[in-house]
Structure formats: C-alpha cells, structure tokens
Structure 1
Amino acid sequence: MDFWPEFLASSSGKEFVGGGFGGMAGIISGYPLDTLRIRQQSSKSGSALSMLRSVVATEGPCALYRGMAAPLASVTFQNAMVFQIYAILSRAFDSSVSANDPPSYQSVALAGVGTGALQSILLSPVELVKIRLQLQNRGPTTLHPTASHRGPISVAKSIWRTEGLRGIYRGFTITVLRDAPAHGFYFWTYEYAREKLHPGCRKMGDESLRTMLVAGGLGGVASWISCYPLDVVKTRLQAQSLSSPRKYNGIIDCLKKSVKQEGSGVLWRGLGTAVARAFVVNGAVFAAYETTLRCLFNNGSIQTENTF
C-alpha cells in the first residue's frame, strides 16, 4: 500500500488529537438530550418535554448529566481512535488515490463500516455503564431499584462482581450491528454534504465553520436514522442485569416482545430527541475535529463567513 509513507509522514497522529477534541465537544453539548433519549427508549410512554420536566422536578437538573463521567473519561481516546482508524482505512480501501487527493465516497463508506465495528470493542462497556446510571433512581420502572451507584466506577465494579466479563460486554453484538453500518452512513453523509455545500473543500480544506456544523449535523442524523431500531433494542438489553428479572433473552426475543407488547412504534420511540441531539453533537464533533486539524497542520484560520 503505497499511501502508508505519505500518509504517516503528513498525519503523525493529528487525526487522533483532532478526534479527541471533537469527541469531548460532542459529549458536553449533547449529553442531556442523550439522557432523555435513553429514558424514552426504556419507558412505555412520555414525550421528551414531559420527561424533561419530570426529571428536573423530581431529580434536579444534574440528573440530565448523570453517567457523563463514563463516556467523557473514555471519549477522548475512543473518538480519537475512531477518526485515526477512519483516516487509515479510508486510504487503505483506496490506495490508488494520491495522498494529496481525498478518498472516494465508496472508500469513505467502507472505512466507516470498519471503524464502527472496531470501535464497538471500547464503546460497548462504556455505554452499558452509562445506560445503567441514566436509568437509576426511577422507582418501580428501575430494573434494580435497590442498587444506588455514585458513579461509573461503582457501576463497573458491581457489574464485574456479579456478572463478570460477559456482563461487561452485555449488548456487544447489537452494538456492532448498530455501529458498523451507522458509521458508514455517518462518514459518507458528512463527506458528501460538505462537498456539496462547499465544492472543492474535500481537497482544499477551506470550508467555513458553518459548513462543518451543518455537514457534521447531517452525518449524525443520517447515522441515527439508519440504526435507530437497533439502538432501542440495545438500550433494553443493556438495561438488564442478573439482579433483576430477565425480560429479554437476546436480540430477536427483545425485538419480538417489544413490538408485540408496545407496537412497532416502540422501535422509533425517542427518535426526535435522538435526531435533535445528533445534529447538535455531530456538528460540534466535526467542527472541533476539523478546526483542530487546521491548527495542527497550520493551514490557516477557519473562515466563518457564509459560503453557501
């Protein structure tokens, strides 16, 4: 693969650094909406607005950030790895293209699929801990109402002690099934949208901040719409623990029981919240990522004028 010397010489891990900053920006900007999404998916009713009012009234506004330490602590490394792996794979799938030219859209999509599958190894345990914390203190609907954890370390220790390694990776298969195609849509939509909004920017890297925000937001929306029913199933499976009655016995069983008991609409419950969050979060992710790369590569300052 002839791209390796050129790519490594010009990159030097800068995508890793940029991805880390992008991940932190995404988590901080969208975590309250993520908490509402998780609660909508695990409940039988309630709009995002009514759930927001209920959470703030009964648990306080800080409850919207409960469990954020787990993804925030890992997100720098996780997102950094995602963007570095994506950068390498997108070139590996299109090694005939010069290092100075952007990879093809087909390579972008394939690299996204590979990146999504690989990042699930790290993401699955983190999301498991996050979901357990986000669903804590919910009275009768809590799967294990007697347990009260003060943070992600407490949850992780409890899962390891009672369920072992298998418990830590509960939901891993559904996470891979969700993230592999979703990341393909994610990166392809971002690259396609930014080029349409600012022709030539994929090669020149001269798009405006507004273009980054919009293209990143559209990429996030496309990825969530493509995988949302699987995300609902993943949330319900990872919310289970050995200390509570087992409701679902796998992906297919969870899918069948959820639809039978609550209708097909259950697979799209919380989609509005997820899409709103995805646009905000991924706009921030890509804007922070691209801005960091420009600073590291010394390609000049980011333009903020309207270019479309």
Structure 2
Amino acid sequence: MSKTEKENPVHSLIAGATAGAIEAVVTYPAEFAKTRSQFGGKREPPIDVIKNTIRTQGVSGLYSGCTALMYGNALKAAVRFVSYDHFKHMLADKEGKVSPARSLVAGLGAGITEAIFAVTPSETIKTKLIDDAKSPNPKYRGLLHGTVSIVREEGIRGIYRGLFPVVMRQGANSAVRFTTYTTLKQFVQSTARPGQQLPNTITFGIGAIAGLVTVYTTMPLDVIKTRMQSLAARQQYKNSFHCAYRIFTEEGVLRFWTGTTPRLVRLMLSGGIVFTVYEKLMLVMKKL
C-alpha cells in the first residue's frame, strides 16, 4: 500500500463535516423509508412507506428527523475522517506505508470512535422522531423538543439506546468501507492512472462500490440498532442479544435484511457523495 502522510486535522474536520451534512440531506428519504420498514409489527415495504407518507403528510413527511441526522452526520463524518487519518498514520510502518490489514484496523477504530461521540445520540433521536411521526398525534414537535423530552423522560441513557449495536455496526461499516475504498482507489491509481488525481466520476464509483459491500455485510446490525432505538424498545427487548433472538425466532432470519434496498441506495449514494466531496475539499484546502 502506498505511502501515507498525516492529514491536517482541521482540514479533515471541515471537509468531513461538510461532506456528511450534504450526504444526509440528499439521501434522507431513503434513510426514512429504511428505518420505518425495520420497526416491528406489520411489514411495510419501503416503497409503500414512501407512498403512504407522501399521501398522509406530504413530501415534508419524508424528512421527519432529518435535522438530527444532518447534524449527526456532519459530526460523524468529521470524527470519522479525523480519527481514521489519525489511526492510519499511527499504524503506518517505518516507511509510512499502511497495509490492507492495518487499514481495516484504522477503519474499525474510526467507526467505534464515531459511534460513541456522534452516531448513537443522533441515530437514537432520529429513530424516535421517525417512530413518533407515524402516530396520529406525534408528541415531539421537532429536534430540540424531541431531544429535551427524551432526556427528561429517560435521562442521558435515553439518547444512548442501542449503543452496543451502533458501535458494532459503525466499526464494521468503517472497517469495510475504508478498506474497500482505499484498496480500490490505490488499485486504480497504480494500474490505470499512476501518479494522477482521480476524476470525480471514478471517485464516486469507487465510493459507491464501497457502500454496496458495506450494506450487505452489516445489515443485521442495522436492523437490531433500529429496533433497540424505537419508542417501544424498553418494553420489548432486554438488550441487543435478546432483540436479535426475538427477531430470529419470531420473524425469521430474512428479517435481518429488512430495508436493504433503501439502505443500499443511500449508502451507495452516500459513499460516492462523501468521498467525492471530502477529496475535493481536501484538495482545495491544501492548495489554499
């Protein structure tokens, strides 16, 4: 693997946060449909979720909880890229090279870091807002009111519901995504475009492939995470393992891949958008 140089943490922070916020807004309807389809009870295909939501609440209904994800995604992406660059540099050998195995470890470290500091709170709030929005009389009036209400009712633990599956999912997500992306990028650069900057289309395509691989390997963790963060989680599940057991025994193994299509759409777009915006902003800031 090629030589790695330490990225400027401030540049990584700005580029990562911007890329994360843009990605969240563009892909949110797919995230909304995925989350709603993963709740327990009657199975509702993602396309029906979108149709029914637009019919009853309008297009704006597809953006319930979007603000929570946008802020959380910006923070998540910032933490992810800064921590990944840090771990990657720390794990480089004496020549400054990072092997695929060490890149995997760096991605795992970045995923765990972002899960603790950014993803779990924002995902929990987003999931509860989406769950609440399907009620005829929603009790949360928006991000701020919802966050304050959750903390008041459940304490700080209320926004850290599902921490374990989130840590597992984000660790796996980042490990798989960064390793796939870095490996494919360096393969293309070394074979087709040695010593050249990759164009946006190729960067987007590599990011999309990384998103595709990530979805199918981590989908069960995503389903467990959504269930553990729903409004009824405290009444239904003792912990993540109990949740997984009930899904498996009561609903079947295929239920772990519920919401794959919208998550696939989102993560393929997200991989392309995030890596493309990040790479271009880093390039601009280096030139400045």
TM-score by length of 2: 0.91
1:64 Cα deviation from its structure 2 partner? 0.9
Which secondary structure does the structure 2 equivalent of 1:136 belong to?
helix
Amino acid at match of 1:295: V
2:56 corresponds to which residue?
58
1:111 Cα deviation from its structure 2 partner? 0.5
Q: How many residues align?
A: 284
Work out the CA distance in 1 between the residues paired with 2:58 and 2:172: 37
1:277 Cα deviation from its structure 2 partner? 1.1
- The structure richer in helix per residue is 2
* CA deviation string 1:203-256 (max 9, x = no partner): 846111011101111112222222110110110111035xx8701111111111
Work out the CA distance in 2 between the residues paired with 1:162 and 1:175: 22
Output aligned runs, 1:151-170, within 5 Å: 151-170=142-161
Indicate whether 1:249 and 2:246 are aligned.
no
Percentage identity across paired residues of the two chains: 24
1:191 corresponds to which residue?
182
- Does structure 2 conserve the Cα–Cα contact (< 8 Å) formed by 1:213 and 1:282? yes
1:82 corresponds to which residue?
80
The alpha-carbon distance between structure 1 residues 63 and 203, as it changes in their structure 2 partners (threshold 3 A), is farther
1:305 corresponds to which residue?
none
User: Bigger shift: 213-222 or 42-51?
Assistant: 42-51
1:200 Cα deviation from its structure 2 partner? 6.2
TM-score by length of 1: 0.85
The alpha-carbon distance between structure 1 residues 55 and 205, as it changes in their structure 2 partners (threshold 3 A), is farther
Structure 1 residue ranges without an equivalent (≥5) = 140-144, 300-308
1:110 counterpart (105, 108, 120): 105
Structure 2 residue ranges without an equivalent (≥5) = none
Indicate whether 1:258 and 2:256 are aligned.
no
Which secondary structure does the structure 1 equivalent of 2:133 belong to?
coil
1:220 counterpart (207, 211, 215): 211
2:280 corresponds to which residue?
291
Work out the CA distance in 1 between the residues paired with 2:282 and 2:192: 14
- Does structure 2 conserve the Cα–Cα contact (< 8 Å) formed by 1:105 and 1:188? yes
Work out the CA distance in 2 between the residues paired with 1:204 and 1:117: 33
2:132 corresponds to which residue?
136
* CA deviation string 1:122-158 (max 9, x = no partner): 210110000011122324xxxxx75521211111111
Amino acid at match of 1:135: D
Indicate whether 1:233 and 2:230 are aligned.
no
- Larger-Rg structure: 1
- Does structure 2 conserve the Cα–Cα contact (< 8 Å) formed by 1:70 and 1:129? yes
1:293 Cα deviation from its structure 2 partner? 1.0
CA-atom RMSD, angstroms? 2.3
